[in-house]
Amino acid sequence: MNASKHHVSSGDFTVWRKALEYMYPNGQLVQPLGSWILADPADWLEYWEWFATLDGQFLYFREGPSIWHRFLRRPNSHHSYFGEFLVENTPLVPLRRATIEGDVHTLFLLNSSVQPALPTPEAPEEIQLGDCLALAPTIAWVTAYMRTSPSIQPLLDDIANGKAVAVGDGSYFEIYGVGSSAWILSSADGSSWIEGGGIVPGPIPDLNSYRCELGALLGLGVGTACLKNLLPETKHFMITACDNLEALRKSTVDRTKVKTTWKSVDLISQILDVWSKQHCTQLPQRVYGHQDDKRMGPLTFVEQLNVRMDKLAKTLAIRSFG
């Protein structure tokens, strides 16, 4: 690319795109960027010359390490200052960096900026789940409906010990253009649980049973994320089951292999992101759906939960018909 040209052509952008793809074949930095590093307060003064007080009453010019010129703001003015000044030591009041123009008679404050600081992180929002105070869901639609057993402590114990089971299912009513998802986190004996669900968002042409199953798997991740503050920080595992094999495969795919052309890539990306921030790891398991209609014998525990979520998903969808 000819860097001396003033006009950048589409060909230049193509060359630059190919160069970036060569350097970063997965579209990601080899070493992720770290947290912002704040400048030392002394550097804030040392590498600038003009400053303004926070109330704008005075301008300061740094003549030397401990020699400063102070300029007074003109009466009835916001940005105009007298050209005369007093010589002072280093100011003890908080200052903003300033951009100034003018001459020996009058100075004008063009703009100013405060010393940057990282925002104080807000305490995460919490909700009551059973007998525990948990983190609020990060994705609202998938928890529009949410209910728990009276106590979720046995569920927490089973998740930590790798005994809990998580099952999701979706329901799609093509004639109404409505899809829903339902999910449940359950202790091994079924006595302690959290279930939830909601109406799957997206344009009608994108809605199908596959997207609804992905929505259910997303619910499992969001539901588990609500418990992060109640679970150990050591690595633990949990069975995550649904009856759509392709949705299961996509829920654990390598993040670097995700393609924007995939159907429902928005939900796939959310699933991968929400699980990547947890200590709990999925153990995907396929469960065959509608076994209550297909088999006369007793159902496995996972199959029972799948039937339960199938009914819940249908109920949520039917409620939305109005």
pLDDT tens digits, residue range 180-197?
999 999 999 999 999 999
Closest C-alpha to 295, from 282, 310, 307 = 307
> What is the tens place of the pLDDT at every residue in 252-263?
999 888 888 899
Chain segment 115-152, per-residue pLDDT in tens: 777 667 777 899 999 999 999 999 999 999 999 999 99
Angle, to 10 degrees, between the axis of helix 301-320 and the axis of helix 209-225? Answer: 110
Counting Cα atoms < 13 Å in the Cβ hemisphere of 256 gives 7
State phi, psi for 257 to the nearest 5 degrees: -100, 0
Backbone angles phi, psi at 63, to 5 degrees: -80, -35
What's the one-letter identity of residue 166?
Answer: A
Cα 312 from Cα 16, distance rounded (Å) = 51
Q: Closest Cα to residue 28, out of 214, 252, 261, 254? A: 254
Which pLDDT tens digits describe the chain residue by residue (322 residues)?
455 545 677 888 888 888 887 777 666 776 777 776 666 666 777 788 999 999 999 999 999 888 999 999 999 988 999 999 999 998 888 899 999 999 888 999 999 988 777 667 777 899 999 999 999 999 999 999 999 999 999 999 999 999 999 999 999 999 999 999 999 999 999 999 999 999 999 889 999 999 999 999 999 999 999 999 999 998 999 999 999 999 999 999 998 888 888 999 999 999 999 999 999 999 999 988 776 666 667 889 999 999 999 999 999 999 988 6
- In this structure, the strands spanning 280-286 and 236-242 are parallel
Q: How far apart are CA 250 and CA 246, in angstroms?
A: 6
In the chain, residues under CATH classification 3.30.420.10 are 126-320
Element holding 228 (H helix, E strand)? none
- What pTM was estimated for this model as a whole? 0.66
Q: Of 3.40.50.1100, 3.30.70.1560, 3.40.1390.30, 3.30.420.10, which CATH number belongs to 126-320? A: 3.30.420.10
- The whole-angstrom separation of Cα 294 and Cα 47 is 76
What integer pLDDT is reported at residue 131 of this predicted model?
94
Nearest-angstrom CA–CA distance, 262 and 108: 56
Determine the Cα–Cα distance for residues 122 and 107; give it in Å rounded to an integer.
41
